Amino acid sequence: MAQVTIESTADNYAHRISNGLHTLLADEPPRLGGKDAGMAPFDLYLASLAACTAITLRMYAEKKGWDLGQFNAELTSSRDEAGKLQVHRILSATGALSSEQWERLLDVASRTPVTKVMSEGAVITSEHRPLKS
């Protein structure tokens, strides 16, 4: 499905992430010891959900012949009293969409591929492999 690699840099917590074609930097903010050279891990988590939401809704709207115009999604995260992560999306578009169309788009947003994986969880495994010098 997807594959990324990450490698450290000389700057403490900054790491280069690549999928083989595109590269970005991840880091922590100064209050956590980083230099804020890139998005923090939870920023990237929200960014992947935002990107999947935007792309999926754009594809759906095009298929239906709906003009979304400029589309924006604002995502925030927090933890509830039990410590469970809560993510809230606010979706906006400049296109003239009816309330029925927005209802449908919100339904589609609730079922995007990344939304489903984040909601259902994933099996995550790890192993050690020595780096070659």
Token code pair at residue 78? 């927090």
Token code pair at residue 104? 């449908």
| Per-residue confidence (pLDDT) for residue 72, from 0 to 100 | 95
Residue boundaries of the structural domains of the chain? 1-39, 41-120
Residues 83-130: pLDDT tens digits? 999 999 999 999 999 999 999 999 999 999 999 999 998 898 889 998
pTM: 0.89
Quick one: CATH architecture of 41-120? Answer: 2-Layer Sandwich (3.30)
Instruction: Give yes or no for a contact between 49 and 115, defined as CB atoms under 8 angstroms apart.
Output: yes
Distance from C-alpha of 40 to C-alpha of 73, rounded to nearest angstrom: 19
pLDDT beyond 90 at 11:
no
